[in-house]
Structure 1
Amino acid sequence: MSFKGLCNLRLKNISRKAMPKRKLDAKEDRQRDDGGEEKQDERRIQCIFKSESGETDGSPFELPINISKDKLQLVCDAVIKNDEKVPYAFFVNGEEIRENLLKTVGEDILTKTETAVEIVYQPQAVFRVRAVTRCTSSLEGHADAVLYVAFSPNGRHLASGSGDSTVRLWDIYTETPQFRCKGHQHWVLCLAWSPDGRKLASGCKGGKVCLWNPETGKEICRSLTGHTDYISALAWKPLHLDPESRYLASSSKDRTVRIWDVMTFKTHMVISGHSAHISFVKWGGSNLIYTASHDRTVKVWRASDGVFCRNLDGHGHWVNTLALSTDYVMRTGAFDPANAKIVHDEVTDSPEELSKKAKARYDAVVATGGENGGFERLVSGSDDATMYLWRPEDSKKAIARMTGHQKPVNEVKFSPDTRIIASASFDKFVKLWDGFTGKFITTLRGHVNMVYQVSWSADSRLLVSSSKDSTLKVWKVEARELMLDLPGHADEVFAVDWSPDGQRVVSGGKDKVLKIWRS
């Protein structure tokens, strides 16, 4: 049987399935003939399936113009031999097919197109994360506001940094305090877990970087000193480039980035070149370092020798935040979030074995994306209320300028599957953008004050946000709507993080309390 015949036979089988009765609607794809009887819209259109990488599967074939998303999944399973039954999302000209093909492409496509309509299919996560719905613990202990919270790459450890100059480690099983880490003399502004999960770095307002052993709560070494002003961000060298997690980058208001060798506890390299304070640093998977500054630029540096590569210009005010499309896969390293056992299993692999696993996961994520795939993408957010999407490895020209926020953009985050960017702003809104083109998707409305942070679930289907209005909100991304409102904090919620295994969300804020949320 020919390819076209196989598809038509598949479609006939689909149409024989019983469909639930429903009320008539003028906008639906059913219509009445002159005799008053219902008849199905039998118009068809030439289509062809196309992968994210641009490869077409088979030759063009006809599909009903009103075919639904669920039926497209069945056809796709047959055409591309999807034996594992991976769920797909379908797109035409960048628009997702959410109900049926007709509503996405419109009536005009029937007369205007002379070639087959390309339906791009994108694999979705097979596993699902359940939304958190309730607070299971309120963890007290900090004597000042909680400024930063972070789960370790495998989700087995939880850390928090506070204005009381301490770092605290918490037992996620009993949801109780575990270790109080004292070493800073000023506010702890940022935390970063090494991608192997064996070290925790913290940076403070006094310009000091400390390293902690999460198993004992003890300081690994004397403090790493050299910065002359506060630490704004920390970034470890990715695991697939550094099996021993030996190198750590820190950015500072003193306009420099220092790369530390945590084996010798000395400065390995100092990078300078910005004319104002550096607000953010990222260490990319291609061994490039990206820095954002109040001088309105993003700079790209070669991590191997600190050589300046290029300027990314465009912002009209301070650049506050950066995110890489590979952030999530580099954060979790060798630990696959789809495997919930990562929290409970002891790590027995050698550093080299962990590095190989991390490399395989990293390569798989970078390979997606079609025209803009094959490269890490970078998004920057600024006080000018705009965002820029870049492909910084090989170009200083932006892929897109993203406008829509009315006040400073405080944080940006790529979804774990890299397909969506979420932005949090002081204008009270969370916005979603296409992670490949920068095209605006939707605005998530619900907060009544500034939004500080956002965090994705591991399956990219849910998003949680924290706000000055003292609440967390859980958003259902596919439906583009508010799913749950989580009140409970007594004041502003500065920080939020979703555990890599999807089981927990942690939040912290001005009320000095950490809250654990579970489904």
Structure 2
Amino acid sequence: MALSPDGETLAGAGDDGILYFWNVATWRRIGRLTATQAEDVAFSPDGRVLATAGTDGAVRLWDVQARREVMPRPATRKGNIVAWKVAYTTDGTKLLSGDSDGTVRWWDTTTHRLVGAPLQGSGTALAVSPDGTTMATDGGAGTIVLHDLVTRRRIGAPLVGHTGTPLDVAFSPDGTTLASAGSDGTVRVWSLVRGRQSGRPVTRPGTGAIYGMAISDDGRTLVISSGSGVRLWTLTGRDRRGRLVVNPLGRPIAPDRIGDGGPVALSPDGKTLATGASDGVIDLWTVTTQRQSGAPLIGHTEDDGKRWVRGLAFSPDGAVLASTGADGTLRFWDVGTRRQIGPPVTGVHASALAFTPDGATLAAGMDDGTVRQWDRRTRREKVSPMRGHMDAVTYVAFNPDGSVLASASKDRTVRLWDLRTGQQKGQPLAGHTHAVWMAALSPDGRLIASAGRDSTIRLWDVATRRQLGRPLTGHLGDVSGIAFTPDGRTLVSAGYDATIRLWDVSLPSDLEAGVCDLAQRAITREEWNLHVPGAPYEPICAPAVP
């Protein structure tokens, strides 16, 4: 994603191979064009041309106004090479591309030809200083290297500190400071004058990217699945300002077994934790002692060299655990006896699972974009699949009374389904610019929170299916987990940036001011009549709506 130099246009590449353009002032989409799936985009200094780095190894140039490709032929690489990053020099005469073969190449933006020999530097991170004299890039083995763009020679020693791959770098406006974000879950700041790190990492290392999260039904325990294993946190109430207090509980659980970020599930009483590993085994743990409880659940088998557990869900009474695996099976387990209940259900390729509040039905979001339901007792499919998503379903969740199911998908939408009719309720909730990984319903069923690859969290009114206010921003990578606390006052989020964030979504004491601050627009007559039926319309937040 890139912002034009004048700050008026935002460009982003979708998973569907389409480039989208938005007007920043109105947040409306103003154009699109079809391109080979792009990993990165960059505007030229004059804002007239957009460069893209493609998974096919090609670097392409696009006329922003005409919405067409301007390069007579793509600048491509032979072999299985991916172009990860693109960046312009300050004068716009050269374009740099970081490739998966560990090189950075220069392209003349007029002739569209390569200039000179490539420089060594992985393409996962790439930036040019504001004065156009210095390039920063991933140097391999967790290092960052600097090159003089005039002499094309390396400047000084590599910057050493990250224990994982640097994923992004950025210069300060004066060019004396560099910030870097890595797969080790840290953001580091470097003084280029001194050639060393300034202070401590902004985020705590050791957690690693967070892939999943859950909160116990009593609201006392938070569990996250990260690159360093599974960690537990206690939610110990609120401070004097009403903010939720979160404290770590012990050390990571079995990082050698579940350090790959497998699925996790908490039993409704918060006493038992289930974790899925890459070897197809499910382990159960006692939360208070953080020790393994009883024998593991073994049943998922290897399929094409893959064995990992993909999805887990406890029934509301905690007696049954459902699981899906890479072997394409759905299995039901008796938590008390640690035995599988009946034969597995085959042909279930899914990672998203959820039981209805009464525990009678299990829903699964499928890789083919459908949502299917099974009777817990008979393990038979209850109704025809619900169809509507255009890509894999990544998460499913029920409202409190079990009448509505919300599904999130890689197609960048959240959809609501009426389980009495099996039909979709209204239009999909659209706004995310990339895949949606998670959706959570508030305890009262009135709000939906969604989050995903675009690093944002969005709140939606279930009744009107409209977005409330602006997206919540702060995460530096994919938002992989969201959950409401049982009182509905706080939304907890976790992401690939290895951070856990808390968002106050409770109503303020000054209700009118709070509503206006959240909505950031006029309240329509339709919304007024829905939430304040029978009361005369009042033009709060803005002049009366005609």
Q: TM-score, normalised by structure 1?
A: 0.49
Task: Flag the structure with higher strand content.
Answer: 2
State the structure with bigger RCO (CA 8 A, min sep 6), 1 or 2.
1
Task: Flag the structure with higher helix content.
Answer: 1
Q: TM-score, normalised by structure 2?
A: 0.47
